[in-house]
Structure 1
Amino acid sequence: MVNVTASPAITSVLWQRMYTNTTRENITVDRINYGGSLVSSPSLVIYNVDSIDAGSYICRITNSLGTSESGIIDLTVRGNIPSVAINSSAYDVILGSSAVLQASVSASTGWEVTTVYWKRTMSSGAVITLDVDGDKYEGGTISSPTLIINNVNSEDEGNYVCYAVNSIGISESGTITLSVIGSKYLTSMSQVFYLMSHIYITIAAKRST
C-alpha cells in the first residue's frame, strides 16, 4: 500500500516495474491484470498474482510542481495455483460404455493439491458439481484426477471441467465436450441379423447342392 500526501494535489500516478537500476517498464492498468494506480487510490493492485509477477516496483507521483518517486517495493510470490491439463477437448462414446475423461494435475513443491473435483454444464445451462460415488462416477481424486463415467447415456452429454485446489487458489482445465453415439442394443441386433442371414445363406447353399 502506498500513502500519498501532496500540495498542490497530485495529478497523476504511474507504476513501474524495475528490472535493473536503469531499466524500467511502465505498468498499464487495464482493470484485468492490474488495478488501482489512481489519484484517489494510488496503490497498485495485481490480480491473480503469478510467479512471473515477482520483482521490484516503484510508484511515481506527479503534481503541478513535478514528479517524485516512492522507494523500491519488492514483491515475493510464494507458490502458485495448481496446473490442470487434459488430453482431449472432445470425446465420442458409445451408449452404454464407459467414458474416460483424462486429466492430470500438478503443483509446486510445498503447495500441493488438496482437492480435485469435476463440474458439468447441463444442456439447460445449469452447472453442477459431480458426486463421485464410485458407481456412476469414478476417479476425480488427487491421485487419479481422470473422470470415468460408467454406462453412459444421452443424459451424460455436455461439457465437463476439472478443478484443482491448493492453499494458493483454484485452477481449472479446459472444457471437455462429451457426445454419446450409437447403441449397444442396435449393434447387437445388427450382429444377430448378420448371423441369421449368414445361416440362411449357408442352409440355402447346402440345399442347392
Structure 2
Amino acid sequence: MHRNAVRRAARAALPALLATAAAAPLAGTVHGAGGTPYGDRLTVHPGPGRPVAEPAVRTDGAAVVARVPGTGPPLWTYRRAGRRPAALLAVPGHAVALWDDGLITDTDRRTGAVRWHRAMPDAAAGAPWPLDPGTRMLAVVTPARISAYRTADGDLRWTFPAPADCAFRPGGPLRVDGVLLVPRPCADPDRPWQEGIVAIDALGRVSPTRRPLANERPGDPAGPRRGSAARP
C-alpha cells in the first residue's frame, strides 16, 4: 500500500515538475534581457515641467548628473554599480563618459538613456574629444592609441596606435581649423620633431595620400569624404 501511494504521488507531481523544468530556460532568458549587464542605474528626477534640450552635465563623485542650466535642479543621474567616471565629454545631444573599468558610454543628454557601451582597456587613462563640428565622430585619446567612434551607434571606425617609444597626451590636443593636433612625445631623441605632433580629424590621420573612408551608416547623409590613412 505504501509503495502504491508513492507511485500515485509521483505521477501526480510529474506534470508540475515538467512545467517547472520547461520554464527554467525561459526565466533565465527573460532575466538576461531585462537585466543590467553593465551595472547601469538611471534615476530620473522630477523635472521643471518642460523638457530641457541641453542640460548641464557634470560628473559628481561616482555619477554623471544632468541639471537645469543656471538654476541647478537635477534632471537625471546615471551611475554604474561599483564604477566611477574617469572623464566626461558633454556636447550637443551627447554625454560621453570614460569609466574606471575601461568602458565608454554615450548617454542621451536630454533623457539620460544610454545609447551604447563600448569596451576599451585603457579608456580610464584617456580623454574624449569631438572630431567634427556636428560631433558625428568621437576620438578617445589614450597614451597608447587614438580610437574613433561613430556617435550614432558607437561603431569603431579607426584606430591609430602610438609607436613603441612614443605616447599620446590625452589632455593636450589643440583644435586648429577643424583638425585636432595631438601631442605625441617620443623617447628617441633622433626622431624628427614633427613626429611629436599628430594631426587627425574625423577621417583619421591627416595625410595628402590617405584613402577614402566612409564613416556614415548606410542611408545616412554623406559627411566628409576626403579619406584616411589610419587603419580601419
TM-score interval for Structure 1 and Structure 2 normalised by the shorter chain: under 0.3
Q: TM-score, normalised by structure 1?
A: 0.22
Report which structure shows greater RCO (CA 8 Å, sep ≥6).
1
Larger radius of gyration: 1
